[in-house]
Amino acid sequence: MPQTERILVVDDESGMRIGLTETLERGGFAVTAVDGGAAALAALERGGYVLVLCDMRMPSMGGGDLLVAVQARHPGLPMVMMTAYGTVEDAVAAMKAGARDFLTKPFSPHDLLHLVRGILRDARERAPEPDGRGGALHRQLITRSPAMRRVLAIAEGVAASRAPVLIQGESGTGKELLARHIHASGPRRQQAFVAVNCAALPRELLESELFGHERGAFTGAIARKLGKFELANGGTILLDEISELELPLQAKLLRVLQEHEIDRVGGTRPVAIDARVIATANRPLGPLVAAAAFRRDLYYRLHVIPLTVPPLRERGEDVEVLIDHFCERFRGGRALTIEPAARVYLRRHAWPGNVRELEHVLERAALLAAGTTIALGDVALEDELTMERPAALSEAGGGDFAGLTVHEMERRLILDTLQRTKNNRSHAAKVLGISVRTLRNKLAEYRTNKQIDAAL
């Protein structure tokens, strides 16, 4: 049984600590919550934490000061900063100082868990695991498609090369997974694989994130920071969604590819770099070059080894095997199966969101499933014209919701979800995307108004 991952919450407001603890514990994490920087540092000395979630504004030691102290004492431990006074300047300062990400209060439990899981998943995937042969394990690419197998054959054939790779394909097709496969198949497999989402980082942060900065290079640069290229030295750097890179940074990237050296922001001399570059784009770069939105010279420099990942609608053979793969991943200790009607429904869907969409649909279906079988109603999807009514709503209301208030629809959905989860409140709250405390409060309100049985 894998050990539960531990998260440290730091916030001077007791209500916020309680809410964050409840949300994270519902998400499967172990949580320690403290009210300030001194208590946080003491807790960290005992070790075992995988992430720190910290408020920016606290008395005595603010979040920025704690961030600096944690980086000095526990390098590599990811920190997410929170504030009720969020501004772009706060985000830039926190992330330039080394924060992994930034949340502006109020935020939803879903957003918090999505962010935390993404950071920890990225950390796990970067960590090499022995495979008994001196290499490192990596997530397997699941495919039976001849077209995808041809792409894999080319990718594995060039894995030992230092030449740049450009992977193009629609969102959700598995471009990053293919990049990791290339890295894990080559001689750099034991070195770092560093991924940078060029579309997710603010423009003000991206240059510093890629190339690093020297102390004093700008306001808030209180220490030297190594950029992603230096962190990937000897290994591979993935430039995800490179089409979003602005032209001035494209010119600097071109120099890195040509000269194999970078210039830190505020630096006085270049730094030699040996990092294999893999870039991805979810839209063809050729038209962007023609429109002068992407540098032609950079395009040809990246286009040395071009790969195109076919969309899932052109890989019909893969849908079946991916259904079984995701059912196994999300079974949650059950012998989870999927009924034939649901399987046929999934095979016939066009999957505009590709493998990622199929993954999310089956993750949700595994949570909604009553017992050990995923039914047709559990995989209800939105088509191009109408939103199909999920089974939870259809069964709760009998069909027509015209004339009902939002409050009544909410009550029916909550009660139906409880019925489908056999009154397991933790499971129901997770399916509904609310906290257990909110669910308890809703049920107390319904009992008070005699809208449900008092025993529920």
104: domain CATH number?
Answer: 3.40.50.2300
Q: What confidence category does residue 382 fall into, taking pLDDT thresholds of 50, 70 and 90? A: very low
**227: pLDDT strictly greater than 90:** no
- Are 122 and 161 members of one domain? no
CB 238 within 8 A of CB 193: yes
Statement: the pTM of the whole predicted model exceeds 0.75: no
Domain boundary among 270, 288, 310: 310
Q: What is the pLDDT of residue 94?
A: 72
CATH number of the CATH domain containing 417: 1.10.8.60
Is it the case that residue 53 has pLDDT exceeding 90? Answer: yes
Backbone angles phi, psi at 265, to 5 degrees: -60, 125
Q: 257 and 317, same structural domain?
A: no
Same domain, 34 and 151: no
Residue 249: burial class (beta carbons within 10 Å; 0-12, 13-18, 19+): middle
Furthest CA-CA distance within the chain: 74
Read off the CATH number of the domain in which 195 is found: 3.40.50.300
**Are 160 and 277 within one domain?**
yes
131 within some domain: no
Q: Can you give the residue range of the structural domain that contains 321?
A: 313-448
Do 50 and 453 contact (CB within 8 A), yes or no?
A: no
Q: Is the pLDDT of residue 443 over 80?
A: yes
Q: Which backbone phi and psi does 411 adopt, to 5 degrees?
A: -60, -45
In a shared domain, residues 75 and 96 = yes
| 112 within 8 A of 24, measured Cβ to Cβ | yes
The whole-number pLDDT of residue 209 equals 86
Q: Which of 264, 290, 310 is the last residue of a domain?
A: 310
Q: Both 297 and 220 in a single domain?
A: yes
Q: Are residues 320 and 374 in the same domain?
A: yes
What are 443-447's contacts with CB under 8 Å, separation 24+? 443/414, 446/411, 446/415
Q: Which of 260, 278, 310 is the last residue of a domain?
A: 310
Same domain for 397 and 412? Answer: yes
Q: How many domains does the chain have?
A: 3
Residues 232, 109 share a domain: no
333 lies in the same domain as 274: no
The reply to whether 350 and 402 lie within a common domain is yes
1 assigned to some structural domain: no
- Token output for 449: 């108004």
Do residues 187 and 236 touch, judged by C-beta distance below 8 A?
no
Residues 318 and 300 in one domain: no
Taking Cα atoms as reference points, which of 235, 226, 229 lies closest to residue 261? 229
Name the β-bridge partners of 55: 82
Question: What are the residues whose beta carbons fall under 8 Å from the beta carbon of 29, sequence distance 6 or more?
Answer: 4, 5, 6, 7, 116
**Using one digit for the tens of pLDDT, what is the confidence trace for 4-48?**
799 999 999 998 999 999 999 988 899 999 999 999 999 998 888
Instruction: List pLDDT tens digits, range 166-177.
Output: 999 999 999 999
Residue 405 has pLDDT above 80, yes or no: no
Q: So what's the pLDDT on residue 207?
A: 85
* pLDDT digit string, tens, across residues 246-296: 999 999 999 999 999 998 888 888 899 999 999 999 999 999 999 999 999
Rg (CA), the chain: 24
> Are 281 and 168 in contact, with CB atoms under 8 Å apart?
yes
Question: Each residue of 266-276: b (16+ CB within 10 Å) or e?
Answer: eeeeebebebb
Q: Residues near 392 by Cβ (< 8 Å), separated by ≥ 6?
A: 368, 377, 413, 416, 417, 420
